Chain A
Amino acid sequence: MEYVFWGSIIELAFFGLIFGIGLALAAKKFAVEVDPRVEKVLEILPNANCGACGYPGCSGFAKAVVAGEVPVTGCPVGGQSVAEKIAAILGVEVGEVEPMVAVAACSGGVRAKDKYEYDGIEDCRAAMVMGGGPKLCSYGCIGLGTCVEACPFDALSMGPLGVPVTDFDKCTGCGICVDVCPTGVMKLVPKSQPVFVACNSKDPGVFVRKACETGCISCFLCQKNCPKQAIKVVNNLAEIDYDKCDACGICIMVCPTKVILNKFPDVMKANKGLPAAVPTNPDETKALLDEIKKKQAEAKKAPKKPSEKKGDN
Protein backbone atom coordinates (compact mmCIF):
# COMPACT_ATOMS: atom_id res chain seq x y z
CA MET A 1 0.00 0.00 0.00
CA GLU A 2 1.42 3.27 -1.06
CA TYR A 3 1.05 5.14 2.20
CA VAL A 4 2.60 8.27 0.82
CA PHE A 5 0.04 8.42 -2.00
CA TRP A 6 -3.01 7.62 0.10
CA GLY A 7 -1.65 9.50 3.07
CA SER A 8 -1.46 12.72 1.06
CA ILE A 9 -5.04 12.36 -0.19
CA ILE A 10 -6.36 11.57 3.28
CA GLU A 11 -4.43 14.37 4.94
CA LEU A 12 -5.30 17.13 2.49
CA ALA A 13 -8.93 16.05 2.29
CA PHE A 14 -9.02 16.11 6.07
CA PHE A 15 -7.54 19.60 6.23
CA GLY A 16 -9.83 20.91 3.48
CA LEU A 17 -12.94 19.47 5.12
CA ILE A 18 -12.16 20.65 8.64
CA PHE A 19 -11.06 24.12 7.59
CA GLY A 20 -13.91 24.54 5.13
CA ILE A 21 -16.55 23.61 7.69
CA GLY A 22 -14.79 25.70 10.30
CA LEU A 23 -14.76 28.79 8.07
CA ALA A 24 -18.40 28.33 7.08
CA LEU A 25 -19.42 28.13 10.74
CA ALA A 26 -17.26 31.14 11.59
CA ALA A 27 -18.76 33.12 8.73
CA LYS A 28 -22.21 32.47 10.18
CA LYS A 29 -21.18 33.26 13.73
CA PHE A 30 -19.15 36.38 12.95
CA ALA A 31 -21.36 37.73 10.22
CA VAL A 32 -21.48 41.51 9.88
CA GLU A 33 -24.69 42.82 8.40
CA VAL A 34 -24.32 45.08 5.39
CA ASP A 35 -27.27 47.35 4.80
CA PRO A 36 -28.50 47.01 1.18
CA ARG A 37 -29.28 50.74 1.18
CA VAL A 38 -25.52 51.41 1.27
CA GLU A 39 -25.23 49.82 -2.17
CA LYS A 40 -28.10 51.90 -3.53
CA VAL A 41 -26.66 55.14 -2.18
CA LEU A 42 -23.24 54.27 -3.59
CA GLU A 43 -24.75 53.95 -7.06
CA ILE A 44 -26.18 57.47 -7.15
CA LEU A 45 -23.11 59.19 -5.70
CA PRO A 46 -20.80 60.97 -8.19
CA ASN A 47 -18.11 58.39 -7.35
CA ALA A 48 -15.33 60.90 -7.82
CA ASN A 49 -13.84 59.74 -4.48
CA CYS A 50 -12.65 63.31 -3.86
CA GLY A 51 -13.01 63.13 -0.07
CA ALA A 52 -14.66 66.54 0.21
CA CYS A 53 -17.34 65.10 2.49
CA GLY A 54 -14.60 64.22 4.96
CA TYR A 55 -15.07 60.47 4.61
CA PRO A 56 -12.68 58.03 2.95
CA GLY A 57 -14.12 57.91 -0.54
CA CYS A 58 -17.71 57.56 -1.70
CA SER A 59 -18.14 54.17 0.00
CA GLY A 60 -17.19 55.77 3.32
CA PHE A 61 -19.78 58.49 2.80
CA ALA A 62 -22.45 55.95 1.74
CA LYS A 63 -21.96 53.98 4.96
CA ALA A 64 -22.03 57.17 7.06
CA VAL A 65 -25.16 58.63 5.49
CA VAL A 66 -27.10 55.35 5.90
CA ALA A 67 -25.93 55.23 9.52
CA GLY A 68 -27.22 58.74 9.98
CA GLU A 69 -23.86 60.26 10.90
CA VAL A 70 -23.94 62.87 8.15
CA PRO A 71 -26.92 64.77 6.63
CA VAL A 72 -28.06 63.76 3.15
CA THR A 73 -26.72 67.08 1.88
CA GLY A 74 -23.18 66.09 2.91
CA CYS A 75 -21.91 65.53 -0.63
CA PRO A 76 -21.01 68.99 -2.02
CA VAL A 77 -20.19 67.60 -5.45
CA GLY A 78 -23.51 65.81 -5.86
CA GLY A 79 -25.37 68.87 -4.74
CA GLN A 80 -29.13 69.16 -4.54
CA SER A 81 -30.00 66.38 -7.02
CA VAL A 82 -27.96 63.71 -5.24
CA ALA A 83 -29.22 64.89 -1.84
CA GLU A 84 -32.81 64.46 -2.98
CA LYS A 85 -32.15 60.96 -4.36
CA ILE A 86 -30.43 59.87 -1.13
CA ALA A 87 -33.35 61.28 0.86
CA ALA A 88 -35.75 59.23 -1.29
CA ILE A 89 -33.78 56.03 -0.57
CA LEU A 90 -33.59 56.68 3.15
CA GLY A 91 -37.09 58.09 3.42
CA VAL A 92 -36.11 61.43 5.01
CA GLU A 93 -36.70 65.09 4.26
CA VAL A 94 -34.05 67.11 2.47
CA GLY A 95 -33.37 70.79 3.01
CA GLU A 96 -32.03 73.31 0.55
CA VAL A 97 -28.41 73.08 -0.49
CA GLU A 98 -26.68 76.33 -1.28
CA PRO A 99 -24.07 75.65 -3.96
CA MET A 100 -20.70 77.04 -2.95
CA VAL A 101 -17.70 77.90 -5.11
CA ALA A 102 -14.08 78.59 -4.31
CA VAL A 103 -12.50 82.02 -4.78
CA ALA A 104 -9.00 83.32 -4.12
CA ALA A 105 -9.50 86.04 -1.51
CA CYS A 106 -6.39 87.94 -2.48
CA SER A 107 -5.74 90.93 -4.74
CA GLY A 108 -2.00 90.77 -4.25
CA GLY A 109 -0.15 88.21 -6.31
CA VAL A 110 2.31 90.18 -8.43
CA ARG A 111 1.11 93.38 -6.81
CA ALA A 112 2.21 92.17 -3.36
CA LYS A 113 5.79 92.85 -2.31
CA ASP A 114 8.27 90.02 -1.74
CA LYS A 115 10.29 89.43 1.41
CA TYR A 116 12.89 87.42 -0.45
CA GLU A 117 13.32 85.67 -3.76
CA TYR A 118 12.13 82.09 -3.39
CA ASP A 119 13.87 79.28 -5.25
CA GLY A 120 12.77 75.85 -4.12
CA ILE A 121 10.01 73.27 -4.38
CA GLU A 122 7.17 74.74 -6.45
CA ASP A 123 4.59 74.22 -3.75
CA CYS A 124 2.97 76.92 -1.61
CA ARG A 125 3.11 74.71 1.47
CA ALA A 126 6.84 74.21 1.06
CA ALA A 127 7.37 77.96 0.53
CA MET A 128 5.40 78.73 3.72
CA VAL A 129 7.87 76.70 5.75
CA MET A 130 10.63 79.20 4.94
CA GLY A 131 9.89 82.08 7.26
CA GLY A 132 6.16 82.34 6.52
CA GLY A 133 6.39 82.56 2.75
CA PRO A 134 8.13 84.83 0.22
CA LYS A 135 5.48 87.57 0.39
CA LEU A 136 5.72 90.43 2.87
CA CYS A 137 2.01 89.93 3.62
CA SER A 138 1.92 86.63 5.52
CA TYR A 139 -1.77 86.16 4.69
CA GLY A 140 -1.37 86.63 0.96
CA CYS A 141 -1.42 84.28 -2.00
CA ILE A 142 2.03 82.84 -2.67
CA GLY A 143 1.07 81.98 -6.24
CA LEU A 144 2.92 78.68 -6.74
CA GLY A 145 -0.30 76.86 -7.65
CA THR A 146 -0.74 74.13 -5.03
CA CYS A 147 -4.51 74.67 -5.23
CA VAL A 148 -4.45 74.45 -9.03
CA GLU A 149 -2.71 71.06 -8.78
CA ALA A 150 -5.04 69.84 -6.06
CA CYS A 151 -8.34 70.62 -7.77
CA PRO A 152 -9.83 67.30 -8.93
CA PHE A 153 -12.25 69.05 -11.31
CA ASP A 154 -9.67 71.24 -13.11
CA ALA A 155 -11.58 74.37 -12.08
CA LEU A 156 -8.58 76.47 -11.01
CA SER A 157 -5.90 78.12 -13.10
CA MET A 158 -3.18 80.61 -12.25
CA GLY A 159 -4.35 84.09 -13.33
CA PRO A 160 -2.31 86.90 -14.90
CA LEU A 161 -2.08 88.72 -11.57
CA GLY A 162 -0.41 85.77 -9.81
CA VAL A 163 -3.61 84.78 -8.01
CA PRO A 164 -5.70 81.70 -8.98
CA VAL A 165 -8.85 82.22 -11.05
CA THR A 166 -11.87 79.89 -10.70
CA ASP A 167 -13.91 78.51 -13.56
CA PHE A 168 -17.30 78.72 -11.82
CA ASP A 169 -18.87 76.22 -14.23
CA LYS A 170 -16.43 73.48 -13.23
CA CYS A 171 -16.10 74.32 -9.53
CA THR A 172 -18.26 72.04 -7.36
CA GLY A 173 -17.37 73.60 -4.02
CA CYS A 174 -15.67 70.44 -2.75
CA GLY A 175 -13.26 72.48 -0.63
CA ILE A 176 -10.06 70.59 -1.36
CA CYS A 177 -8.29 73.78 -2.47
CA VAL A 178 -9.34 75.39 0.82
CA ASP A 179 -7.70 72.52 2.71
CA VAL A 180 -4.40 72.65 0.84
CA CYS A 181 -3.98 76.43 0.79
CA PRO A 182 -1.46 77.15 3.59
CA THR A 183 -2.41 80.82 4.07
CA GLY A 184 -6.21 80.46 3.96
CA VAL A 185 -6.56 82.61 0.84
CA MET A 186 -8.85 80.08 -0.89
CA LYS A 187 -12.35 80.51 0.51
CA LEU A 188 -15.78 79.04 -0.25
CA VAL A 189 -18.50 81.59 -1.04
CA PRO A 190 -22.10 81.09 -2.24
CA LYS A 191 -22.25 80.70 -6.01
CA SER A 192 -25.32 82.91 -6.36
CA GLN A 193 -23.79 85.88 -4.51
CA PRO A 194 -21.67 88.21 -6.67
CA VAL A 195 -19.82 90.16 -3.96
CA PHE A 196 -16.73 88.92 -2.12
CA VAL A 197 -13.80 90.48 -0.27
CA ALA A 198 -10.62 89.78 -2.22
CA CYS A 199 -8.27 90.12 0.72
CA ASN A 200 -7.16 87.86 3.55
CA SER A 201 -4.90 90.20 5.50
CA LYS A 202 -5.56 90.60 9.22
CA ASP A 203 -2.68 93.05 9.53
CA PRO A 204 -3.46 96.70 10.36
CA GLY A 205 -3.90 99.10 7.45
CA VAL A 206 -0.48 100.73 7.84
CA PHE A 207 1.28 97.39 7.30
CA VAL A 208 -1.02 96.41 4.45
CA ARG A 209 -0.08 99.62 2.62
CA LYS A 210 3.60 98.71 2.95
CA ALA A 211 3.17 95.10 1.94
CA CYS A 212 0.81 95.36 -1.01
CA GLU A 213 -0.33 97.84 -3.66
CA THR A 214 -3.96 97.03 -2.76
CA GLY A 215 -5.58 95.22 0.18
CA CYS A 216 -8.06 95.82 2.98
CA ILE A 217 -6.84 98.72 5.15
CA SER A 218 -9.76 98.47 7.64
CA CYS A 219 -10.97 102.00 6.84
CA PHE A 220 -14.55 100.94 7.82
CA LEU A 221 -16.05 102.79 4.81
CA CYS A 222 -17.85 99.61 3.66
CA GLN A 223 -19.26 98.97 7.13
CA LYS A 224 -20.48 102.56 7.50
CA ASN A 225 -22.21 102.66 4.14
CA CYS A 226 -23.84 99.22 3.93
CA PRO A 227 -27.63 99.64 4.13
CA LYS A 228 -28.14 96.09 5.42
CA GLN A 229 -25.15 95.92 7.85
CA ALA A 230 -24.02 92.86 5.95
CA ILE A 231 -20.32 93.74 5.86
CA LYS A 232 -18.29 94.25 9.02
CA VAL A 233 -14.62 94.77 9.69
CA VAL A 234 -13.41 92.03 12.01
CA ASN A 235 -9.73 91.64 12.94
CA ASN A 236 -8.68 94.32 10.41
CA LEU A 237 -10.44 92.51 7.57
CA ALA A 238 -13.85 93.16 5.98
CA GLU A 239 -16.19 90.16 6.18
CA ILE A 240 -19.51 89.69 4.39
CA ASP A 241 -22.47 88.02 6.11
CA TYR A 242 -24.11 86.32 3.14
CA ASP A 243 -27.41 85.88 4.95
CA LYS A 244 -27.84 89.67 4.99
CA CYS A 245 -26.08 90.74 1.78
CA ASP A 246 -28.44 91.69 -1.06
CA ALA A 247 -25.68 92.48 -3.60
CA CYS A 248 -26.49 96.18 -3.90
CA GLY A 249 -22.83 96.87 -4.69
CA ILE A 250 -22.36 99.94 -2.46
CA CYS A 251 -19.36 98.44 -0.67
CA ILE A 252 -17.73 97.79 -4.06
CA MET A 253 -18.10 101.47 -4.96
CA VAL A 254 -16.90 102.97 -1.67
CA CYS A 255 -13.88 100.72 -1.07
CA PRO A 256 -10.80 102.96 -1.59
CA THR A 257 -8.39 100.12 -2.43
CA LYS A 258 -10.92 98.36 -4.72
CA VAL A 259 -10.52 95.09 -2.86
CA ILE A 260 -14.22 94.15 -2.78
CA LEU A 261 -14.96 92.40 -6.07
CA ASN A 262 -17.85 91.13 -8.17
CA LYS A 263 -17.66 87.61 -9.60
CA PHE A 264 -20.77 87.55 -11.81
CA PRO A 265 -20.16 86.20 -15.32
CA ASP A 266 -20.98 89.35 -17.33
CA VAL A 267 -18.79 91.49 -15.07
CA MET A 268 -15.93 88.98 -15.42
CA LYS A 269 -16.42 88.80 -19.21
CA ALA A 270 -15.97 92.56 -19.47
CA ASN A 271 -12.81 92.30 -17.33
CA LYS A 272 -10.86 89.65 -19.26
CA GLY A 273 -12.28 86.76 -17.20
CA LEU A 274 -11.28 88.17 -13.81
CA PRO A 275 -13.55 89.44 -11.00
CA ALA A 276 -13.84 93.24 -11.10
CA ALA A 277 -14.62 96.03 -8.63
CA VAL A 278 -17.77 96.91 -10.55
CA PRO A 279 -21.32 96.51 -9.12
CA THR A 280 -23.79 94.34 -11.07
CA ASN A 281 -26.11 97.34 -11.69
CA PRO A 282 -23.83 100.43 -11.48
CA ASP A 283 -26.63 103.01 -11.99
CA GLU A 284 -28.85 101.58 -9.25
CA THR A 285 -25.88 101.37 -6.92
CA LYS A 286 -24.94 104.99 -7.62
CA ALA A 287 -28.49 106.11 -6.86
CA LEU A 288 -28.55 104.13 -3.60
CA LEU A 289 -25.16 105.48 -2.59
CA ASP A 290 -26.22 109.10 -3.24
CA GLU A 291 -29.26 108.53 -1.05
CA ILE A 292 -27.17 107.14 1.78
CA LYS A 293 -24.66 109.99 1.53
CA LYS A 294 -27.54 112.50 1.68
CA LYS A 295 -28.90 110.86 4.83
CA GLN A 296 -25.46 110.83 6.45
CA ALA A 297 -24.96 114.54 5.64
CA GLU A 298 -28.37 115.41 7.09
CA ALA A 299 -27.71 113.41 10.24
CA LYS A 300 -24.54 115.44 10.80
CA LYS A 301 -26.21 118.82 10.32
CA ALA A 302 -29.38 118.12 12.38
CA PRO A 303 -29.33 119.65 15.91
CA LYS A 304 -29.01 117.15 18.73
CA LYS A 305 -32.27 116.12 20.39
CA PRO A 306 -32.64 117.29 24.01
CA SER A 307 -32.65 113.72 25.39
CA GLU A 308 -29.19 113.11 23.90
CA LYS A 309 -27.52 115.89 25.90
CA LYS A 310 -26.12 114.70 29.21
CA GLY A 311 -27.20 116.31 32.43
CA ASP A 312 -30.12 118.07 30.80
CA ASN A 313 -33.43 117.95 32.60
Chain B
Amino acid sequence: MEVSKLIMLAISAIFINNFVLSRFLGLCPYMGVSKKTETALGMGFAVIFVMTMSSALTWIVWTYFLLPTKSNVLYLVFKALGAKVTPQNFDLSYLETIAFIIVIATFVQLVEMIIQKTSPTLYEALGIYLPLITTNCAVLGVAELNTMTMHLNFIESVVHGFSAGIGFTIALLLMSGIRERLELSDIPKPLQGLPIAFFVAMLMSMAFLGFSGFKI
Protein backbone atom coordinates (compact mmCIF):
# COMPACT_ATOMS: atom_id res chain seq x y z
CA MET B 1 0.00 0.00 0.00
CA GLU B 2 1.82 3.10 -1.17
CA VAL B 3 0.69 6.45 0.09
CA SER B 4 1.57 8.05 -3.24
CA LYS B 5 -0.85 5.75 -5.04
CA LEU B 6 -3.56 6.68 -2.54
CA ILE B 7 -2.96 10.40 -3.08
CA MET B 8 -3.01 9.85 -6.83
CA LEU B 9 -6.32 8.01 -6.52
CA ALA B 10 -7.75 10.83 -4.44
CA ILE B 11 -6.73 13.62 -6.80
CA SER B 12 -7.89 11.61 -9.78
CA ALA B 13 -11.32 10.98 -8.29
CA ILE B 14 -11.81 14.58 -7.16
CA PHE B 15 -10.52 16.59 -10.11
CA ILE B 16 -9.29 14.69 -13.14
CA ASN B 17 -12.03 12.10 -13.33
CA ASN B 18 -14.71 13.87 -11.33
CA PHE B 19 -17.66 11.51 -11.09
CA VAL B 20 -20.24 14.08 -12.10
CA LEU B 21 -18.39 16.39 -14.44
CA SER B 22 -16.08 13.94 -16.19
CA ARG B 23 -17.74 10.55 -15.89
CA PHE B 24 -21.32 11.93 -16.00
CA LEU B 25 -22.53 9.64 -13.22
CA GLY B 26 -25.02 10.61 -10.55
CA LEU B 27 -26.68 13.37 -12.56
CA CYS B 28 -30.14 12.78 -11.06
CA PRO B 29 -29.37 13.89 -7.50
CA TYR B 30 -26.92 16.41 -8.90
CA MET B 31 -29.66 18.25 -10.77
CA GLY B 32 -32.37 17.59 -8.23
CA VAL B 33 -30.75 18.66 -4.98
CA SER B 34 -28.54 21.52 -6.13
CA LYS B 35 -31.06 24.34 -5.78
CA LYS B 36 -30.02 25.40 -2.27
CA THR B 37 -26.62 25.18 -0.65
CA GLU B 38 -27.89 23.73 2.65
CA THR B 39 -29.61 20.79 0.99
CA ALA B 40 -26.65 20.35 -1.35
CA LEU B 41 -24.30 20.05 1.62
CA GLY B 42 -26.54 17.46 3.31
CA MET B 43 -26.74 15.49 0.09
CA GLY B 44 -22.98 15.68 -0.37
CA PHE B 45 -22.31 14.27 3.10
CA ALA B 46 -24.79 11.47 2.53
CA VAL B 47 -23.10 10.59 -0.77
CA ILE B 48 -19.62 10.59 0.81
CA PHE B 49 -20.81 8.27 3.56
CA VAL B 50 -22.61 5.86 1.23
CA MET B 51 -19.79 5.79 -1.33
CA THR B 52 -17.15 5.04 1.29
CA MET B 53 -19.10 2.32 3.04
CA SER B 54 -20.35 0.73 -0.14
CA SER B 55 -16.80 0.68 -1.55
CA ALA B 56 -15.75 -1.32 1.50
CA LEU B 57 -18.71 -3.68 1.48
CA THR B 58 -18.69 -4.35 -2.24
CA TRP B 59 -14.97 -5.02 -2.18
CA ILE B 60 -15.53 -7.68 0.47
CA VAL B 61 -18.38 -9.24 -1.50
CA TRP B 62 -16.32 -9.15 -4.71
CA THR B 63 -13.17 -10.68 -3.26
CA TYR B 64 -14.67 -13.38 -1.08
CA PHE B 65 -17.89 -14.31 -2.87
CA LEU B 66 -17.51 -13.57 -6.57
CA LEU B 67 -13.89 -13.88 -7.62
CA PRO B 68 -12.51 -17.29 -8.56
CA THR B 69 -9.69 -17.30 -6.01
CA LYS B 70 -8.56 -19.60 -3.23
CA SER B 71 -10.48 -17.52 -0.69
CA ASN B 72 -13.86 -17.75 -2.43
CA VAL B 73 -16.35 -18.74 0.25
CA LEU B 74 -18.39 -20.95 -2.05
CA TYR B 75 -15.25 -22.83 -3.15
CA LEU B 76 -14.27 -23.37 0.47
CA VAL B 77 -17.75 -24.60 1.39
CA PHE B 78 -17.89 -27.07 -1.47
CA LYS B 79 -14.35 -28.26 -0.75
CA ALA B 80 -15.31 -28.85 2.85
CA LEU B 81 -18.28 -30.90 1.65
CA GLY B 82 -15.84 -33.13 -0.19
CA ALA B 83 -16.53 -32.18 -3.82
CA LYS B 84 -13.65 -32.12 -6.28
CA VAL B 85 -13.57 -28.45 -7.14
CA THR B 86 -11.08 -25.84 -8.16
CA PRO B 87 -11.46 -22.11 -7.70
CA GLN B 88 -11.96 -21.77 -11.46
CA ASN B 89 -15.29 -23.54 -11.11
CA PHE B 90 -16.65 -20.59 -9.20
CA ASP B 91 -16.11 -17.66 -11.53
CA LEU B 92 -19.16 -15.70 -10.42
CA SER B 93 -17.86 -12.31 -11.43
CA TYR B 94 -20.77 -11.92 -13.86
CA LEU B 95 -23.06 -11.52 -10.83
CA GLU B 96 -21.29 -8.31 -9.98
CA THR B 97 -24.11 -5.88 -10.80
CA ILE B 98 -26.89 -7.66 -8.98
CA ALA B 99 -24.80 -8.61 -5.98
CA PHE B 100 -23.55 -5.05 -5.55
CA ILE B 101 -27.04 -3.60 -5.85
CA ILE B 102 -28.35 -6.00 -3.20
CA VAL B 103 -25.56 -5.10 -0.83
CA ILE B 104 -25.74 -1.34 -1.36
CA ALA B 105 -29.54 -1.12 -1.16
CA THR B 106 -29.66 -3.21 2.02
CA PHE B 107 -26.89 -1.23 3.64
CA VAL B 108 -28.48 2.15 2.87
CA GLN B 109 -31.87 0.96 4.15
CA LEU B 110 -30.26 -0.22 7.36
CA VAL B 111 -28.35 3.01 7.88
CA GLU B 112 -31.45 5.09 7.25
CA MET B 113 -33.39 3.11 9.83
CA ILE B 114 -30.61 3.43 12.39
CA ILE B 115 -30.15 7.15 11.85
CA GLN B 116 -33.88 7.84 11.98
CA LYS B 117 -34.11 6.12 15.33
CA THR B 118 -30.92 7.24 17.01
CA SER B 119 -30.43 10.81 15.84
CA PRO B 120 -33.39 12.81 14.50
CA THR B 121 -31.19 15.86 13.90
CA LEU B 122 -28.78 13.88 11.75
CA TYR B 123 -31.78 12.39 10.00
CA GLU B 124 -33.10 15.85 9.16
CA ALA B 125 -29.67 16.86 7.87
CA LEU B 126 -28.81 13.92 5.61
CA GLY B 127 -31.12 11.01 6.32
CA ILE B 128 -33.83 12.10 3.94
CA TYR B 129 -31.39 11.97 1.02
CA LEU B 130 -30.34 8.39 1.68
CA PRO B 131 -33.27 6.82 -0.18
CA LEU B 132 -32.42 9.05 -3.15
CA ILE B 133 -28.97 7.57 -3.54
CA THR B 134 -29.76 3.95 -2.81
CA THR B 135 -29.28 2.79 -6.37
CA ASN B 136 -27.61 5.84 -7.73
CA CYS B 137 -25.40 5.04 -10.68
CA ALA B 138 -22.54 7.01 -9.14
CA VAL B 139 -22.50 4.72 -6.09
CA LEU B 140 -22.71 1.60 -8.23
CA GLY B 141 -20.16 3.13 -10.58
CA VAL B 142 -17.56 3.65 -7.89
CA ALA B 143 -18.07 0.09 -6.66
CA GLU B 144 -17.69 -1.30 -10.16
CA LEU B 145 -14.60 0.84 -10.89
CA ASN B 146 -12.89 -0.25 -7.69
CA THR B 147 -13.35 -3.95 -8.36
CA MET B 148 -13.76 -4.77 -12.01
CA THR B 149 -11.87 -2.01 -13.74
CA MET B 150 -9.09 -0.84 -11.48
CA HIS B 151 -8.59 -3.98 -9.35
CA LEU B 152 -7.77 -2.02 -6.21
CA ASN B 153 -7.09 -3.54 -2.83
CA PHE B 154 -9.24 -2.80 0.21
CA ILE B 155 -7.60 0.39 1.46
CA GLU B 156 -7.32 1.76 -2.05
CA SER B 157 -11.00 1.02 -2.70
CA VAL B 158 -12.11 2.85 0.42
CA VAL B 159 -9.90 5.85 -0.33
CA HIS B 160 -11.15 5.95 -3.90
CA GLY B 161 -14.78 5.78 -2.75
CA PHE B 162 -14.23 8.52 -0.21
CA SER B 163 -12.55 10.78 -2.76
CA ALA B 164 -15.29 10.15 -5.29
CA GLY B 165 -17.77 11.37 -2.70
CA ILE B 166 -15.66 14.46 -2.03
CA GLY B 167 -15.48 15.20 -5.76
CA PHE B 168 -19.25 14.79 -6.05
CA THR B 169 -19.79 17.16 -3.12
CA ILE B 170 -17.47 19.80 -4.58
CA ALA B 171 -19.28 19.69 -7.91
CA LEU B 172 -22.63 19.83 -6.11
CA LEU B 173 -21.64 22.85 -3.99
CA LEU B 174 -20.34 24.72 -7.01
CA MET B 175 -23.59 24.02 -8.85
CA SER B 176 -25.78 25.10 -5.95
CA GLY B 177 -23.85 28.35 -5.57
CA ILE B 178 -24.38 29.13 -9.23
CA ARG B 179 -28.04 28.12 -9.20
CA GLU B 180 -28.81 30.29 -6.16
CA ARG B 181 -27.54 33.30 -8.08
CA LEU B 182 -29.40 32.24 -11.22
CA GLU B 183 -32.63 32.68 -9.25
CA LEU B 184 -32.18 36.46 -9.40
CA SER B 185 -31.25 36.60 -13.06
CA ASP B 186 -33.42 37.27 -16.06
CA ILE B 187 -33.56 33.93 -17.88
CA PRO B 188 -35.76 33.30 -20.95
CA LYS B 189 -38.90 31.38 -20.07
CA PRO B 190 -38.09 28.16 -22.02
CA LEU B 191 -34.74 27.83 -20.25
CA GLN B 192 -35.86 28.48 -16.68
CA GLY B 193 -35.25 25.76 -14.10
CA LEU B 194 -33.66 22.53 -15.32
CA PRO B 195 -32.55 23.52 -18.86
CA ILE B 196 -30.34 26.36 -17.70
CA ALA B 197 -28.95 24.05 -14.99
CA PHE B 198 -27.83 21.64 -17.68
CA PHE B 199 -26.19 24.50 -19.56
CA VAL B 200 -24.32 25.38 -16.39
CA ALA B 201 -23.30 21.76 -15.89
CA MET B 202 -22.01 21.71 -19.46
CA LEU B 203 -19.85 24.77 -18.85
CA MET B 204 -18.54 23.38 -15.56
CA SER B 205 -17.73 20.11 -17.28
CA MET B 206 -15.79 21.90 -19.97
CA ALA B 207 -13.92 23.80 -17.28
CA PHE B 208 -12.97 20.54 -15.56
CA LEU B 209 -11.62 19.27 -18.87
CA GLY B 210 -8.68 21.48 -18.06
CA PHE B 211 -7.59 18.86 -15.53
CA SER B 212 -7.45 16.03 -18.02
CA GLY B 213 -4.13 14.59 -19.02
CA PHE B 214 -2.43 15.37 -15.71
CA LYS B 215 0.33 12.95 -14.93
CA ILE B 216 0.95 12.83 -11.20
**Measuring CB to CB, which residues of chain A are less than 8 angstroms from any residue of chain B?**
1, 3-4, 7-8, 10-12, 15-16, 19, 22-23, 26-27, 30-32, 121-123, 126
Contacts and interface: CB of A to CB of B under 8 A. Distances in A.
B184 A22 contact: no
Given A11-B99, A23-B109, A30-B116, 19 more contacts: A3-B85, A4-B90, A4-B91, A4-B92, A7-B74, A7-B89, A12-B98, A12-B99, A12-B102, A15-B102, A19-B106, A22-B106, A23-B106, A31-B117, A32-B116, A121-B184, A121-B185, A122-B186, A123-B184
Contacts of A11: 65, 74, 92, 95, 99
Interface in B64-119: 65, 74, 78, 83, 85, 89-92, 95, 98-99, 102-103, 106, 109-110, 113-114, 116-118
Nearest to B83: A1
A27 B113 contact: yes
B35 to A, nearest CB: 14
Given A11-B74, A12-B102, A19-B106, A26 B114 contact: yes
A8 B95 contact: yes
A11 B95 CA distance: 10
A4 B74 CA distance: 10
Contact of B92 (A7, A16, A121, A122): A7
Contacts of B74: 3, 7, 10-11
B95 A3 contact: no
A299 to B, nearest CB: 57
B90 A15 contact: no
Given A12-B95, A27-B113, A126 B102 contact: no
A15 B103 contact: yes
A111 B67 CA distance: 80
A251 B89 CA distance: 97
Contacts of A19: 102-103, 106
A284 B20 CA distance: 72
Contacts of B102: 12, 15-16, 19
Nearest to A121: B184
Nearest to A125: B184
Contacts of A3: 74, 78, 85, 89-90
Contact of A30 (B92, B98, B117): B117
B99 A30 contact: no
Contacts of B85: 3
Interface in B178-198: 184-186
Contacts of B78: 3
Nearest to B183: A123
